[in-house]
Structure 1
Amino acid sequence: MNSKQLQYFLTTVHKGSIAGAARELDIAQPAISQQLASLEREMGAQLLSRTFSGVTLTPAGDLFLSHATKLMDDINTAKSELRELVGKTAGTVKVGMLPSIGNVLSMPLIAEVKQNHPKLKLEISTGPSYSVKGWLEGRQVDIALTYEQDVDPRFMTVSPLIRENLHLVMANQATSSEYSHLAGRESIPFWALSQFPLLSPGNKDALGKLIEHYENATGVSLQHNLAYSGQLMTGLRQVMQGEGVMILPTSAIFHLEESGLVSTLKIVEPEMQRLVLAATNKTSPLNEAVLKMLKVIKRVVASEQALQHWRGSLAFTDQSEMKGVLASGSLMSS
């Protein structure tokens, strides 16, 4: 029995067929069938029941599944620990994220990797939530920074990062008469959003799904502007011209707010929040470079939250390494 056989077995079970495993692993079906048959001979039991429609676990296979999962976890852990021991935390890590997340994380993340982790190479791709989800499923990225609304437990393993607050984003109150009556306020109740034309991304996007959830939960119908293209920067330009408002986290607009180009009000009654997560594909073993990048991402998230660029509360519990970051408001070498 070897790790290749274990990987083939686990992937076949996960995909429900040898054909599905072959597509997932980009390996010919006969090669997978041969390795599975060899594994069954060595185990002395039939592990999979094969039919034209796919495969199912036999009682023996069901018992073996937990052992195989643990063995693969142990193998991957051993590989990671050995790489760390010999100081070979190197490689390219591809990270996919939404534009609103990329706006706050991309530059400090690139700077942190360049300064403190020169053996790592970071590649960032941005797109709508459904695209980022597809990239991770297709293993085009190693890490996806996404939202709980788009989590698919069939292939995702997730680690919480931050529970971000959502805000009403509008043209600057001081220069726009339409919003001058909101001057001096720090928050706005959800029901009051119905008086503004809302540039909404639609329910295909994670944010659109969340807005729809709040509408259903409160019974409040918002004025969705279907002319919105769904592109963040285009929408923000419309907002700055007074053509509508948006519901966004501060990660998307902190730089515009600091420059006085937009104003924000925290949404309350109920408070609008969403959980941001770092997701990996559970069918892809995590190498040391990916594990290191996950730690770096958490450090940068903590720094941007401390700077109030990304308003909300940190959602991960391993914050002991963040004490220096939170105290200084800037990243520190690891």
Structure 2
Amino acid sequence: MNSKQLQYFLVTVQKGSIAAAARELDIAQPAISQQLANLEREMGSALFERSFKGVSLTAAGEVFEKHAKKLIEDINAAKMELHQLAANQHGVVRVGMLPSIGNVLSMSLIAMVNEFHPQLKLEISTGPSYAVKEWLKTNQVDIALTYEQEVEPRFMSAYPLIEEFMYLVVGVNEASAYYQLLQNRDTICFWELSQFELLTPGPKDALGRLIEKYEHDTGVALKHDKAYSGQLMTGLRQVIQGEGLMILPSSAMYHLEESKVIKSLKITQPDMKRQVLAATNSNFAMTDAIVKMLSIIQEASSTEQACGHWRGNLLNKVPKSDARPMGFASPSTVSAL
């Protein structure tokens, strides 16, 4: 038994004859007669009484009609749900991220979507952490890739991706006193950072607040006197020219490190690190396309971490279609950072 036989059966009942059903369905009468005969053989009962006037239901046919209508309703409902699912999965997903995160993830995300998920359309916007948070709050983006310092539980559902290590970044410049001092080192203690002039963002930015937190927890005051535009690329140009040093994750500068124009030293004692999260607005329902994009973001994060572009510990707690958001960190964990 199949849906075509059910359709032929119900239209024949409605029209009262096989000839009328054939005209309604625009199908040859013998084709309908054959399908109805096959249906009767499968059911083991005659469903119609046939006469020169047309057809009428037998007692078995009346019983079968009730089930046939229910089956067709279920099939149509299933089709509608599947069409809705397909529409959701073919949707546009807007992702907002910081420039440092975009530097390591944007190309991977675009490549994965284009190659493996052509039914999705990815739109990427980049901006400072406070702007990305505002975009998510006002529904201008569907997913925000940001830092734990920007999480607001009152409207965000957060999914941890990676705990990234922080580095002191120095330009590879033989004329720079900074480079001459640091060129043979791979790590640096946090307290040693107080010796250098740093290019740092203000407290409005998540990185600025992270640096302030470490200064407070360690009692080490850093030098923030160097003029800094707040733009990542501009700051890295200043570093390359020997005008100061920056505190950054590998995601922000790995490409320059591979080109040997900058060098990075892992910050230790204490290890300086922070969590990167994917966040959605809990006031809006997540479509299947958004859930799929979160999974792609997790995959891209794992790929970039595995090849050393994004150095840190993977957390990978993005949701499945039926999963609830997971906490980004306990208060005790955050306060220790």
Fold similarity call, TM over 0.5 = yes
User: Aligned ranges for residues 245-260 of structure 1 at < 5 Å?
Assistant: 245-260=245-260
Give the letter aligned to residue 214 of structure 2: Y
Residue 151 of structure 2: aligned partner: 151
CA distance in 1, matches of 2:86, 2:230: 47
Give the letter aligned to residue 263 of structure 1: K
Secondary structure, aligned partner of 1:310: coil
Residue 297 of structure 2: aligned partner: 297
CA distance in 1, matches of 2:318, 2:96: 23
Provide structure 1 residue ranges, at least 5 long, that are not aligned to the other structure. Answer: 1-77, 320-334
Contact kept, 8 Å, 1:169 with 1:265, in 2: the verdict is: yes
Residue 107 of structure 1: aligned partner: 107
CA distance in 2, matches of 1:300, 1:84: 27
CA distance in 2, matches of 1:88, 1:155: 22
| 1:84 Cα offset (Å) | 8.6
Secondary structure, aligned partner of 1:244: coil
Residue 165 of structure 1: aligned partner: 165
TM-score (norm 2): 0.68
| 1:136 Cα offset (Å) | 0.1
| 1:181 Cα offset (Å) | 2.6
CA distance in 2, matches of 1:278, 1:83: 28
Pair 316,260 (structure 1): closer, same or farther in 2 beyond 3 Å: same
Provide Cα deviations, 1:133-187, integer angstroms capped at 9, x if missing partner: 0000000000000000000001000100000000000111656343223222210
Contact kept, 8 Å, 2:156 with 2:282, in 1: the verdict is: yes
User: Aligned ranges for residues 4-83 of structure 1 at < 5 Å?
Assistant: 82=82
User: Aligned ranges for residues 214-253 of structure 1 at < 5 Å?
Assistant: 214-253=214-253
| 1:316 Cα offset (Å) | 2.0
Residue 39 of structure 2: aligned partner: none
CA distance in 1, matches of 2:174, 2:311: 23
Give the letter aligned to residue 235 of structure 1: G
Pair 181,298 (structure 1): closer, same or farther in 2 beyond 3 Å: same
| 1:311 Cα offset (Å) | 0.3
Residue 188 of structure 1: aligned partner: 188
CA distance in 2, matches of 1:295, 1:175: 46
Give the letter aligned to residue 287 of structure 2: N
Provide structure 2 residue ranges, at least 5 long, that are not aligned to the other structure. Answer: 1-77, 320-337
RMSD: 2.3
CA distance in 2, matches of 1:212, 1:298: 29
Pair 85,290 (structure 1): closer, same or farther in 2 beyond 3 Å: closer
Residue 285 of structure 2: aligned partner: 285
**Structure 1 residue runs of 4+, over 6 Å off?**
none
CA distance in 2, matches of 1:260, 1:83: 51
Provide Cα deviations, 1:202-234, integer angstroms capped at 9, x if missing partner: 110000000000000001000003510100011
Secondary structure, aligned partner of 1:131: helix
| 1:317 Cα offset (Å) | 5.2
CA distance in 2, matches of 1:102, 1:262: 19
User: Aligned ranges for residues 268-279 of structure 1 at < 5 Å?
Assistant: 268-279=268-279
Contact kept, 8 Å, 2:226 with 2:244, in 1: the verdict is: no
CA distance in 1, matches of 2:200, 2:104: 21
Contact kept, 8 Å, 1:83 with 1:89, in 2: the verdict is: no
Contact kept, 8 Å, 1:84 with 1:288, in 2: the verdict is: no
- Aligned length in residues: 242
Residue 17 of structure 2: aligned partner: none
Does residue 1:137 correspond to 2:133, yes or no? Answer: no
CA distance in 1, matches of 2:286, 2:87: 17
Contact kept, 8 Å, 1:98 with 1:128, in 2: the verdict is: yes
TM-score (norm 1): 0.69
CA distance in 1, matches of 2:284, 2:226: 39
Larger deviation: 176-185 or 105-114? 176-185
Identity between Structure 1 and Structure 2 (%):
60
- Bigger radius of gyration among the two: 2
